[in-house]
């Protein structure tokens, strides 16, 4: 009898102990020790499938640690660098890396979460050499309430990506991408009609919040905005908004030049483009990099022109990027180490992601007009290095590079607004009888609700 009881009790105790033992697993390990050594975890290490990028990241870590023997970098393999659900989950759980990646779109969410450190006092000309030459708009992506919360990693601005091969097959000049929406529509129809085989002359997003993102970009191109300057009201239920949606609807159903496949999210469109099924789409240079490196398309087939507008290149285009934040629990030593690493890896001409000499040697993509993190002499230096080591036909980007369009950042509460606008985009691309006015009315109401709730 006794042994029976003891066993039963032991079982119950084991159940408790098993749980209690976990308490140790979750506790945060302190990064810096008495001897001045400091360890930081950094996420967004390139995935194994991007061999060149991953190898150079690892080499950079080794070189950086040699330069700073007291710092140890632990890389966190994460792809996509930000997956919305697990990103939010980690942010809420405080399980993100010490130095963690986020889209420009999500600055509000990150700062509101209370999980990050204000790095204003750590950032100066000494800790971030070339700070004065850093592009202001790009740096300000990480500024909220007068405080700086992040350092930029890359930035982008959207233009018109074209498939040069399909342009030639359709009898169009790939060196002269269309610069107005009327020309885009005309060329798209010509590509679909001449090439056939289910090729979409033009493709656009309508799912996974990408539709709202591109609607915003196309509003900017129209000279409009999606939210008023004070950030309080929706500002797309107007002639400009109607122009954007009716144009897409016309191209989809009257011209039939947008292909059969819709409800595309980010990777869907790029996969189609890599398979040679898309003549044109709106996007930044990094999409061509993804097409080449992830989806095995060919660089030579793709080129870019400026964001189209009503009568010529657009007055503004959507820009954004990504950034590194510093976790709330970081010690000052960890923050300093993190800043040193981000500067070394992302913001030093000739080093890290901007080491174009190595890039060329190991077969990375060099020569895209992106990122443009600096202004003035620093930017010129970067561009010179880039041009000298280009691995891709840079002339394909001439039209984009030579017609710079000023970029405009994303609206506040971007994801919630994009989610609403996804529906409108999805409707004009999948419903032959979509009512543009009604769609914009509904979307306006919903966005105003989102903004009112803050």
Partner 1 sequence: MQTRTLISPTRLNRPGAKAAYWIVLVAVIVTFTLVFVGPLYWMVTGGLKTAQETAQSPPTWWPAHPDPGNYATAWSQLSLGRLLANTVLYAAGALAFQLVFDVAAAYALSKLRPVLGNVVLAAMIGTLMIPATVLIVPQYLTVLDLPVLHANLLNTPWAIWLPSVTNAFNIFLLKRFFDAVPEELLAAGAIDGAGPIRTLWSIVLPISRPILGVVSIFAVTNVWKDFLWPLLAEADPTRQPLNVGIYSLSQNVPQNILIAALAIAAAPTVVVFLIFQRNIMSGLSAGSLKG
Partner 2 sequence: MTATAAPQRSRRSTGGGAGRRTHRYSLGVQRNVTGWALLAGGVLCFVLFSWYPMIREFVLSVQQTKYGETSFVGLANYQRVVHDPAFWQAWRNTAEFTGLALLFGFALPFLIAVVLNEFRHAQGYLRVLVYLPVMLPPASALLLFKYAYDPGDGLFNSILSTFGLPTSQWLQSTTMAMPSLVLASTWMNMGGAVLIYLAALQSIPGELYEAAEIDGARLLRRFWHVTIPQCRLVLSLMLMLQVISTMQMFIEAFLLANGSGPEGATTTVVYLIYQHAFNLDDLGGASALGVLLLLVLAAFAAVYVRLDRPRG
9 binds partner 2 (CB under 8 A): yes
Residue placing its CB nearer to partner 1 in the complex, 19 or 34: 19
209's contact among partner 1, partner 2, none, with CB below 5 to 8 A by partner kind, is partner 2
Shortest distance (Å) from residue 207 CB to partner 1? 13
Stretch that binds partner 2, among 72-80, 151-159, 204-212, 336-344 (CB under 8 A): 204-212
- Judged by CB under 8 A, the residue of 198, 312, 332, 350 near partner 2 is 198
Q: Directed axis angle between helix 239-249 and helix 414-430, to 10°? A: 40
Structure tokens given for 38: 């400091």
Shortest distance (Å) from residue 211 CB to partner 2? 10
Q: In whole angstroms, what is the distance from residue 192 CA to residue 258 CA?
A: 8
- Judged by CB under 8 A, the residue of 19, 22, 23, 239 near partner 2 is 19
| Span 232-291, contacts to partner 2 by CB under 8 A | 259-263, 265
- Which helix H or strand E contains 303, and what residues bound it? strand 302-305
User: Can you give the binding site for partner 1, defined by CB under 8 A?
Assistant: 1, 4, 7-8, 11, 15, 19-20, 22-27, 47-49, 76-80, 83, 85-87, 89-90, 92-95, 197-198, 266-267, 271-272, 274-277, 294-296
22 binds partner 2 (CB under 8 A): no
In sequence order, which ranges of 296-413 are alpha helices (DSSP H)?
A: 332-346, 356-361, 376-388, 398-402
Q: Which of 157, 284, 275, 262 is closest to 211 using CA atoms? A: 262
Contact 145, 154 (CB under 8 A): no
Residue placing its CB nearer to partner 1 in the complex, 290 or 333: 290
Stretch that binds partner 2, among 173-181, 243-251, 364-372, 427-435 (CB under 8 A): 427-435
94's contact among partner 2, partner 1, none, with CB below 5 to 8 A by partner kind, is partner 1
CA dihedral 238, 240, 245, 246 (to 10 degrees): 100
Q: In whole angstroms, what is the distance from residue 377 CA to residue 374 CA?
A: 8
Q: In whole angstroms, what is the distance from residue 336 CA to residue 283 CA?
A: 35
**Which DSSP letter does residue 409 get?**
P
- Which helix H or strand E contains 40, and what residues bound it? strand 38-45
**Which DSSP letter does residue 252 get?**
I
Residue placing its CB nearer to partner 2 in the complex, 157 or 209: 209
Q: Which of 86, 85, 143, 82 is closest to 118 using CA atoms? A: 143
Q: Which residues bind partner 2 (CB under 8 A)?
A: 1-2, 4-6, 8-9, 11-12, 14-16, 19, 84-85, 88-89, 109, 112-114, 198, 206-209, 259-263, 265, 415-416, 419, 422-423, 426-427, 430-431, 442, 445-446, 449, 453-454
């Amino acid at each position: 009898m006794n042994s029976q009881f003891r066993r039963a009790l032991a079982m119950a105790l084991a159940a408790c102990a098993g749980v209690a033992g976990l308490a140790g697993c979750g506790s945060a390990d302190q990064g810096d020790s008495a001897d001045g050594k400091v360890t930081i975890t950094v996420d967004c290490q390139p995935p194994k499938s991007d061999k060149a990028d991953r190898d150079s990241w690892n080499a950079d870590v080794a070189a950086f640690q040699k330069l700073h023997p007291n710092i140890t970098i632990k890389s966190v393999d994460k792809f996509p660098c930000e997956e919305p659900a697990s990103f939010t989950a980690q942010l809420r759980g405080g399980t993100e890396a010490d130095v963690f990646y986020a889209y420009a779109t999500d600055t509000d969410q990150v700062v509101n979460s209370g999980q990050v450190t204000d790095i204003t006092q750590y950032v100066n000309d000494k800790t971030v050499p070339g700070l004065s030459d850093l592009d202001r708009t790009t740096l300000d992506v990480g500024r909220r309430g007068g405080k700086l919360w992040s350092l930029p990693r890359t930035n982008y601005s959207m233009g018109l990506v074209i498939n040069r091969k399909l342009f030639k097959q359709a009898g169009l000049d790939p060196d002269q991408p269309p610069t107005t929406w009327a020309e885009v529509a005309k060329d798209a129809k010509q590509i679909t009609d001449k090439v056939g085989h289910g090729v979409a002359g033009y493709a656009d997003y309508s799912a996974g919040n990408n539709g709202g993102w591109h609607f915003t970009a196309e509003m900017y191109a129209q000279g409009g905005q999606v939210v008023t300057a004070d950030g309080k009201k929706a500002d797309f239920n107007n002639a400009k908004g109607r122009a954007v949606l009716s144009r897409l609807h016309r191209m989809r159903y009257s011209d039939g030049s947008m292909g059969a496949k819709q409800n595309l999210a980010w990777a869907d469109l790029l996969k189609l483009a890599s398979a040679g099924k898309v003549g044109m789409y709106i996007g930044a240079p990094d999409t061509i990099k993804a097409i080449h490196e992830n989806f095995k398309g060919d660089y030579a087939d793709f080129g870019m022109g400026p964001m189209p507008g009503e009568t010529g290149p657009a007055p503004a285009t959507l820009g954004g990027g990504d950034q590194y934040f510093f976790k709330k629990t970081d010690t000052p030593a960890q923050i300093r180490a993190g800043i040193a690493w981000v500067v070394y890896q992302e913001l030093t001409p000739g080093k890290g992601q901007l080491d174009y000499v190595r890039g060329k040697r190991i077969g990375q993509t060099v020569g895209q007009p992106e990122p443009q993190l600096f202004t003035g002499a620093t930017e010129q230096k970067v561009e010179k290095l880039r041009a000298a080591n280009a691995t891709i036909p840079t002339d394909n980007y001439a039209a984009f590079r030579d017609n710079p369009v000023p970029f405009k950042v994303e609206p506040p509460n971007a994801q919630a607004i994009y989610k609403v606008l996804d529906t409108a985009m999805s409707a004009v691309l999948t419903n032959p009888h979509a009512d543009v006015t009604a769609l914009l009315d509904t979307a306006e109401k919903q966005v105003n609700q989102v903004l009112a709730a803050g």
